[in-house]
C-alpha cells in the first residue's frame, strides 16, 4: 500500500478479517488501533470520519479501476481468440458458437438460416508455385471479396480453416443464398493478384450449399 493508505480498514465495521496485508521493508513503528476504539474515534470526530471516508473512496475507486481494466483485457483476449489474424474475419471457434445460437434462434422464431462453404480451387498449387506469402495475399483478397457481397450487420462469415470459408445468411431463402454465392464467385473471378509475371494470378472457388 502507498503512503497514507490503510490496510484492512473495512474490517473495522464488518468484523471480517482484513483483505490486505503489509510487509515492512525495514524496522518500523506501527500504531495499532482496536476496532472498537477506532469506531469510537470516528463517532467523536467529524474530521476523522471525513478522512476515513476519503480513504475508503480512494480504495474503492482504485479497486474499480483494476476490475475494469481486467475485464477489458479479458474481453480483448476473447475477441482475439475468435478472430482470424490474417483476414480479420471470425474464425472457426466463433462460427461454431454463433451458428449454434443462430440455429436455435431460427428454430424458435421460424427465421430461415441458409449457409454455404467456399473453398479456393487448387490452392496448394498456388502455394507451391508462388510461395506462401502470395497464398496469404490470395486468402486476404478472397476474404475481402466475400465481405463485400454480404450484409455485414446480420450475415455470418468466417474463415473455417486454411483456404475454406463459411457464409451464413440470416432470413434468406435458398434462392437468395444461391444468388449471394454466385455474386461472391464472380467477385472472386474478377480478382487479380500480382505475382511479378506478365500475367496476374487469378483464382476460382468452389461453393457447396447446406440445404
Closest to 1 in 3D by CA, of 64, 55, 42, 70: 55
Question: Catalytic one among 78, 97, 163, 192?
Answer: 163
Q: Could you tell me the CA-to-CA distances from 97 to 94, 146, 156, 186, 197 in Å, in that order?
A: 5, 21, 11, 29, 43
Q: CA-to-CA distance for 70 and 207, rounded, in angstroms?
A: 42
Sheet containing 156-161: order of strands: 156-161, 164-170, 113-120, 205-210
Helix, strand or coil for residue 97?
helix
Q: CA-to-CA distance for 111 and 105, rounded, in angstroms?
A: 7
Q: Could you tell me the CA-to-CA distances from 209 to 109, 122, 174, 176 in Å, in that order?
A: 22, 19, 9, 12
- 70 counts as catalytic: no
- Supply the residues annotated as catalytic: 163
Amino acid at each position: 500500500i502507498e503512503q497514507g493508505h490503510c490496510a484492512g480498514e473495512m474490517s473495522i465495521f464488518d468484523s471480517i478479517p482484513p483483505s490486505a496485508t503489509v510487509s515492512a521493508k525495514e524496522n518500523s513503528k506501527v500504531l495499532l488501533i482496536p476496532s472498537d476504539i477506532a469506531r469510537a474515534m470516528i463517532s467523536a470526530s467529524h474530521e476523522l470520519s471525513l478522512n476515513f471516508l476519503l480513504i475508503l473512496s480512494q480504495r474503492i475507486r482504485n479497486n474499480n479501476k483494476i476490475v475494469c481494466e481486467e475485464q477489458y483485457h479479458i474481453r480483448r483476449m476473447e475477441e482475439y481468440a475468435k478472430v482470424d489474424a490474417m483476414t480479420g474475419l471470425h474464425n472457426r471457434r466463433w462460427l461454431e458458437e454463433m451458428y449454434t445460437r443462430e440455429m436455435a434462434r431460427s428454430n424458435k422464431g421460424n427465421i430461415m438460416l441458409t449457409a454455404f462453404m467456399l473453398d479456393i480451387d487448387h490452392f496448394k498449387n498456388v502455394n507451391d508455385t508462388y510461395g506462401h506469402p502470395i497464398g496469404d495475399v490470395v486468402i486476404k483478397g478472397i476474404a475481402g471479396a466475400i465481405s463485400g457481397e454480404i450484409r455485414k450487420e446480420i450475415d455470418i462469415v468466417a474463415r473455417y480453416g486454411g483456404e475454406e470459408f463459411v457464409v451464413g445468411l440470416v432470413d434468406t431463402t435458398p434462392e437468395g443464398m444461391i444468388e449471394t454465392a454466385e455474386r461472391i464467385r464472380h467477385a472472386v473471378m474478377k480478382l487479380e493478384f500480382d505475382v511479378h509475371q506478365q500475367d496476374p494470378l487469378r483464382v476460382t472457388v468452389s461453393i457447396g450449399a447446406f440445404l
